[in-house]
């Protein structure tokens, strides 16, 4: 699958605008860029319910007809929305196999809700982002083993604009290695889950770190609403 060259980072201490399709593309903001101004979790002005209803959407102008056809094939009832299992099936048609947990994280990150439904606009963003991440995974899987080790993961995250400490890197590899840390390497499905987790937590942190200082203050409620969606996906 074709990928996109990473954009240079913004110099932000824990995540720039790297690794994304150009912002002129119709399918969403750069990976790692500051979040849009719309309120988080689908609620105006603060941390509302993560189960807020998803607003109906449409395909962005210029969407690849193959993407439209893929969504329509998955949307068997013609409702304009597809659920988690339908999304999993749709993505599997492109030589990709994703666990439901990864699918749930994709749906959460691209809709800001836990309703586990996704519309045409969000599906388009997911589709093109996965193309980009596949390209990045293959670029840093230098030995073509189908896995990337800790050093390759560090470089891949840097290309996406995220600089994590060695301690955090070790935790990520241990978490997303299917062997429980024995191989110290992660496969593509888990790489996507890892990227979604780092991306999502970083963007939620940046919402509070308005000065880009690397520090932020959270209320207990805001902290729980930030972290729990990634634990229960």
Q: What is the pLDDT of residues 191-232, one digit of tens each?
A: 999 999 999 999 989 999 988 898 999 999 999 988 988 888
List, for residues 165-197, the tens digit of each pLDDT value.
999 999 999 999 987 777 889 999 899 999 999
Kindly write down the DSSP assignment for every residue of 124-188, as one continuous string: HHHHHHHHHHHHHHHHH-TT-SSEEEHHHHHHHHHHTT----HHHHHHHHHHH-TTTTSS-EEEH
The sign one gets for the Cα dihedral 5, 7, 8, 9 is: negative
**DSSP letter, residue 34:** P
Check whether 4 has a pLDDT greater than 90.
no
Pairing of strands 185-187, 147-149: antiparallel
Strand partners, 83: 117
Distances in Å between the Cα of 82 and the Cα atoms of 96, 115, 173, 189 are 18, 11, 31, 21
**Per mean pLDDT, which range of 18-32, 110-124, 174-188 is the poorest?**
18-32
Domains of the chain: 65-232 (1.10.238.10)
Cα 104 from Cα 231, distance rounded (Å): 11
Q: How many residues does the chain have?
A: 233
pTM for the structure as a whole: 0.70
Average pLDDT rounded to a whole number, residues 106-120: 89
């Amino acid at each position: 699958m074709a990928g996109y060259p990473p954009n240079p980072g913004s110099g932000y201490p824990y995540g720039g605008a790297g690794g994304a399709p150009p912002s002129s593309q119709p399918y969403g903001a750069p990976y790692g860029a500051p979040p849009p101004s719309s309120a988080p979790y689908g609620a105006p002005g603060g941390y509302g319910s993560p189960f807020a209803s998803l607003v109906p959407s449409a395909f962005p102008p210029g969407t690849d007809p193959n993407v439209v056809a893929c969504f329509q094939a998955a949307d068997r009832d013609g409702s304009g929305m597809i659920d988690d299992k339908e999304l999993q099936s749709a993505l599997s048609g492109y030589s990709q196999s994703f666990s439901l947990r990864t699918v749930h994280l994709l749906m959460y990150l691209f809709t800001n809700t836990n309703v586990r439904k996704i519309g045409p606009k969000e599906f388009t963003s997911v589709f093109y982002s996965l193309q980009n991440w596949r390209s990045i995974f293959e670029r840093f899987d230098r030995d073509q083993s189908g896995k990337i080790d800790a050093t390759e993961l560090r470089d891949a995250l840097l290309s996406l604009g995220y600089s994590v400490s060695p301690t955090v890197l070790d935790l990520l590899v241990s978490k997303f290695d299917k062997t429980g840390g024995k191989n110290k390497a992660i496969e593509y499905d888990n790489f996507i889950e890892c990227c979604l987790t780092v991306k999502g937590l970083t963007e939620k942190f940046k919402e509070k770190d308005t000065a880009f200082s690397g520090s932020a203050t959270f209320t207990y409620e805001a902290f729980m609403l930030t972290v729990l969606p990634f634990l229960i996906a």
